[in-house]
Amino acid sequence: MALQGLGENLLRIFLGDVPSLPPREALRTPRRPFRDLAAGNAGAARPGADGADKPCATEPTGGLWTPVGKALPAVSTPVCTPLPRIRQSNEGGPLGTRGKAPSIAAFRRQRDALAAAAFAEFNASVFDGRLPADLAMGWNAHLKTTAGLTHYRRQACVSNVFGTILRYSARVELSAKVVDAPAKLRATLLHELCHVAAWLLPPHVAKPPHGPAFKFWAGCALRAHPELPVTTCHAYQIHAPFRWRCKSACCGREYQRHSNSIDVARQACGECRGRLVFLGRFNPDNTPMKTRAPSGFSLFVRDNFAAAKAAAGPGEPHAAVMRALSERWRSRKAALAGATAE
Ligand SMILES: [Zn+2]
Ligand SMILES: [Zn+2]
């Protein structure tokens, strides 16, 4: 009987019938009331009580994910010894800390190193160094309201008469649009690492996403980092630099977008149907962004793109049209330089 069951199991593995993965779980924007999980952690059960291993999900694929550029440092510090905190230059973000916020461009230059340092710090101080030092982390440029995602994967790596050995892995994605300051990065990463720990460490629980296993690790995080309560939804103000305002005197509603995506000639205020006016681009501290005068080449492209596209014919890719325009621009500049020299 036992042998028969084993045979069926091996046949299923051979046929590729590995259990499917649970849907990926996301840290959402505060559509729901702000709730502090850590507050309810006193009675949180250690994972395992209901932590039966649920079928888990196929790792979502897609080309949006870009890996963190710098390799993660191996955790070499003794277990439970916190690494030095990374210096937070933007303590003035929406999380209510102090100091001057850095520009988004400055944060983008540092974010890989900040993520790697925060991971090493949390792995030592919260997870006893039990998370893999080379955990995959990356930035997703298309997440507009979700701050972070954890992807789960389970594979059968060895099957023999004694059973199947499963290999668990996880991957963390951070939103490039929402996570735009060091304080948000630390809070979001700590939340996602609680999901990673619930999945990678026994009893390997992915569902419910914010169930007892997650709460157990959120409690560990709260004890190590009381300044970073792990919550189920973030309250970040999402910075969108492009702004418009309704011209109607009794309305005046403002609209913000990540890109210049509102056409004021075609679109109107959703409240009062009034006309919209473009206010410009703004920094996170509400100061107007400095605008650069368009370069000679960009003016040349603006004036000649339509003609070049028509000359290239239908179906010609945008890159080819731009290459042709670049050639014309170079020869025109060379001709001008020759005329000046004469
Ligand atoms: Zn979550
Ligand atoms: Zn309006």
What confidence tier does 22 reach under pLDDT thresholds 50, 70, 90?
A: very low
Centre of ligand 1 from the C-alpha of residue 342, in Å: 69
Per DSSP, the three-state class of 113 is: helix
| C-alpha–C-alpha distance, residues 186 and 54, integer Å | 29
**pTM, whole model, 2 decimals?**
0.55
Closest alpha carbon to 56 in 275, 241, 172, 206: 206
Average the pLDDT over 227-231 and give the result: 85
Centre of ligand 1 from the C-alpha of residue 140, in Å: 16
Centre of ligand 1 from the C-alpha of residue 230, in Å: 9
Asked if pLDDT for residue 305 goes beyond 70, the answer is yes
Ligand nearest to the CA of 197: 1
Centre of ligand 2 from the C-alpha of residue 180, in Å: 29
Average the pLDDT over 177-199 and give the result: 93
Centre of ligand 2 from the C-alpha of residue 240, in Å: 19
Ligand nearest to the CA of 206: 1
Ligand nearest to the CA of 24: 1
CB 125 within 8 A of CB 82: yes
Centre of ligand 1 from the C-alpha of residue 126, in Å: 17
| C-alpha–C-alpha distance, residues 339 and 342, integer Å | 5
DSSP string, 269-315: -TTT---EEEEEEB-TTSPBPP-PPPPHHHHHHHHHHHHHHHHH-TT
Centre of ligand 2 from the C-alpha of residue 261, in Å: 18
